[in-house]
Amino acid sequence: MTTHCIEVRAERIYTVTIGRGLMQEIVESVSEAHRVAVIHPGVLRTSAEAMKTELESAGRECVLIEVPEAEDAKTPEVLGFCWSVLGTAGFTRSDALVGLGGGATTDLAGFVAATWLRGIKWIAVPTTLLGMVDASVGGKTGINTDAGKNLVGAFYSPWAVIADLNTLDTVPENDLRAGLAEVAKVGFTSDPTILDTILEFPIQSVDPNSAQLESLVVRAVTVKARVVSGDFMEMGSASGVLGREVLNYGHTFGHAVEKVENYRWRHGAAVSVGIMYVAELANIAGRLSDEDLNTHRKVLEVIGLPTTYPAGRWDSLYSAMQVDKKARGTLLRFVVLDSIGVPSVLEGPDPSLLVSAYGSIVPD
């Protein structure tokens, strides 16, 4: 298959490489380091050990740092554990770190790299669809706290992102579907061709060996690379264009769902509900047409993602949204669509609209 190389311009220029059988690219990406630490979840121990063998064969010293699964890895305690391992191993600024795993692992690994000696080289090697199309690209790193998700972190780009599509062969189908939530998100905001592909090829879109899924990954990463390159620090642009904030579509409510569910929900499932919520909000506010609202529901449902959320949890959700990073003071701020492919902002909506939108996603 073709290897795709997509450039990202942030505080440094780096390349997202998408292909199959990319171990040599990983080894070459850390060729100047003496020591390499590989942060990985336990489920990827065999893959991490294989990477260690390859790195040591190339003359690198390698330390494996095993961390908990998924969001359980993104805690101050695990962060401190990683620092301790690096300190014991004597890591210096000339050494490097690899984050091998899903989005939570690369979030953690990037933050470890950003904070160790005020910044060392790191490489993201995402092994899930969500990690490939979203979490590993863009340089947002961080951990969770009791107050909410990703409230402690840093903008710190990797030196490279290497996405080997072969790793998707062993990803459970439900995780692939969850990853497609982030793909659909950029379809709604920026690239409607993505939505057309999902609707026309729903089975192939969750087949890790299909040309359609490969195309979806490349298109989604291309959108994110372009957005990040134009607004790395999420400051917006002088021209008034929404900038990187557009990537938060569905995330204000989605992050609230994750917090209320104690991070037991897959991120993509929570984002799917968040996308449906904000589409309903935009529709009630007179921004989004009924037709475009229905397209949201059709795309998410054909992927097999949730579009509803139980009643009786509004107070907890509202409290969680109030500490969301996108809030401005006491004002909630939502990325919405005026139509598919035309994003805008809805700031400080009337509380009655928020409650009505919640009621619209509560199942009958």
Which residue in this structure is represented by tokens 């949204």? 321
333 is catalytic: no
Is 25 noted as a catalytic residue in this protein? Answer: no
Is 296 labeled as catalytic in the residue annotation? no
* Number of Cβ atoms within 10 Å of the Cβ of 337: 25
Active-site annotation holds for 209:
no
Residue located via tokens 């489920």: 43
Question: 291 in helix, strand or coil?
Answer: helix
Name the active-site residue from 40, 224, 296, 333: 224
Joined tokens for residue 272: 């799917």
Beta-bridge partners for 37: 63, 97
Query: Is residue 32 flagged as an active site residue?
Result: no
Helix, strand, coil percent content, the chain, rounded in steps of 5:
50, 20, 30
Strand partners, 125: 100
Q: Establish whether 4 is a catalytic residue.
A: no
Task: Report whether 270 contacts 185 (CB < 8 A).
Answer: no
Q: Of residues 4, 251, 266, 296, which has the active-site annotation? A: 251
Whether residue 328 lies in the annotated active site: no
Residue 263 Ramachandran class (φ > 0 left, ψ -120 to 50 alpha, else beta): left
- Please tell me which residue in 35, 244, 259, 296 is annotated as part of the active site: 244
Catalytic-role residue among 40, 255, 259, 326: 255
Catalytic residue among 25, 71, 182, 280: 182
Is 182 an annotated catalytic residue?
Answer: yes
H or E stretch including 182?
helix 173-189
- Contact between 97 and 113 under an 8 Å Cβ cutoff? The reply is yes
- DSSP state letters, 44-99: GHHHHHHHHHHHHHTT-EEEEEEE-SGGGG-SHHHHHHHHHHHHHHT--TT-EEEE
**Residue in this structure with the two tokens 């592909």, named with its chain if needed:** 197
Is residue 173 among the annotated active site residues? no
The answer to whether 35 touches 61, Cβ cutoff 8 Å, is: yes
* Catalytic residue, candidates 25, 71, 214, 234: 234
Give the Å distances, CA to CA, from 176 to 60, 131, 307. 33, 11, 17
Residue among 144, 150, 248, 283 flagged as catalytic: 248
Those residues whose C-beta lies under 8 Å from the C-beta of residue 197, and which sit 6 or more positions away, are 205, 212, 215, 216
Q: Looking at the annotation, which residues are catalytic? A: 118, 140, 182, 224, 234, 244, 248, 251, 255, 267
